[in-house]
Structure 1
Amino acid sequence: MNIIQNTAPINVVIITGSLRRDSLTLKMAKALIDLAPPSLKMEIVNIGNLQMYNEDLEIPFPPEEWVIFRERIKKAGAVLFITPEYNRSLPAVLKNAVDVGSAPHGQNVYKNKPAAIVSLSPGAMGAFGANHHLRQSLVFLDMPTMQQPEAYIGYSGQLFDDNGAFIQKSTKAYLLKFILAFDRWIEIQKVKS
């Protein structure tokens, strides 16, 4: 007898590392949402309103924005980071979101959440430095981070048309491969836990 399981889609939080209204990271996030299979329910979470992390603000009660953000990450089944590169590293706003979610000590909301990283830049290197600096933090946060395929997207200013759609079919095909691999990665991590 075959048992058909009706499984709900996995909630995936997308955290983008740029606050600019028309940022390339936001365009990438929206494009990946469009490419995602039905098994993933992807949602962009705003990190622009998070106060810079300061342990003193935890007492007596942390800022409401931190509490809301932490709860959203706790409820997520996975996290997708999309980052530009600032001065060969990740943007301060993204590092702050990492710090806010990992604190206070012993209450890391990122722990065991499957993760993936897409980095992009207008130049040729595809934000390689930001990608790897973020990976270092994710190792410490105990987030199983997808290793392959890697997504260092160069010349990102030439990726999208005026409607935010991919201009080149090859880019769309590669990122579809990436998001499907991330879907499989999340499933593998669910089985392990």
Structure 2
Amino acid sequence: MSDITIAVLVGSLRKESFNRRLAQALVRMAPAGCKFTMPRIDDLPLYNQDDDAHQAEAVLRLKSEIAAVQGVIFVSPEYNRSVPGVLKNAIDHASRPYGTSAWAGKPAGVIGVSGGAIGTALGQQHLRNILAYLDMPTLGQPEAFIQAKDGLFDANGGIGEDSRKFVQAWLDAYLAWVKKHS
């Protein structure tokens, strides 16, 4: 694969987040020629349309980082059957003011892990609705609703043996999606 850069946005601020661990494992699984960035979203102010004319430095940084990549992977937990507020805040900031969205046309992948049996299925569906509005072609299949179980991560922070083939197949499908839409 020719050189591409993918932004990975983690929808959790928790230091020991399963989703942060999943994001870091995905980075390790990438083939040669694929680079990842992990833009910060923890320092963004709450979105307020009154600030669109004078966006905060952290917002401008996020928009610049998204503009510089060929695709975006959203790795997120599900909070109350939806998208975590911190992720929605980042999405709103980088899409505004109207007509200056950093997201438009960026191929997206959606994946997440939680302790629940259905993983992050409902949160992912809400996120997919948002991404459709933002004109982000989003990988539909395979879907990845991952349940956090013993062995999901190995001792080195990678994906454990029982899940590695599935997660690698998802990543490979996403990278092919980026190539198709770039």
Taking structure 2 as the reference length, the TM-score comes to 0.95
- Counterparts of residues 64-75 of structure 1 (less than 5 Å): 64-75=57-68
The equivalent position to 2:16 in structure 1, one of 14, 18, 22, is 22
Percent identity over the alignment is 36
For the residue of structure 1 that corresponds to 2:72, the secondary structure is: strand
Query: Aligned partners of 1:71 and 1:101: how far apart in 2?
Result: 9
Aligned residue number for residue 122 of structure 2: 129
Task: State the Cα distance separating 1:63 from its structure 2 match.
Answer: 0.4
Query: Does 158-167 or 178-187 show the bigger shift?
Result: 158-167
CA distance, structure 1, for counterparts of residue 149 and residue 3 of structure 2: 29
Query: Which TM-score applies when normalising by structure 1?
Result: 0.90
Q: What do you get for the CA RMSD once the two structures are aligned?
A: 1.4
- Choose from 4, 19, 24 the match for 1:10: 4
Deviation at 1:156, TM superposition (A): 4.9
Pairs aligned (count) = 182
Query: Distance in 2 between the 1:21 and 1:161 partners?
Result: 18
- In structure 2, the partner of 1:46 is 40
Could you tell me how far apart the structure 1 residues matched to 2:150 and 2:63 are?
A: 32
The answer to whether structure 1 residue 37 and structure 2 residue 1 are counterparts is no
In the TM superposition, what whole-angstrom CA distance separates every residue of 1:98-157 from its partner, at most 9, and x where no partner exists?
101110001111000001000211111111111000000000000000011111101356
- Structure 2 residue aligned with 1:91: 84
CA distance in structure 2 between the partners assigned to 1:100 and 1:184 by the alignment? 28
Residue correspondence of structure 1 range 47-62 to structure 2 within 5 A: 47-59=41-53, 61-62=54-55
Which structure is larger by alpha-carbon Rg, 1 or 2?
1
| Residue 169 of structure 2: aligned partner | 177
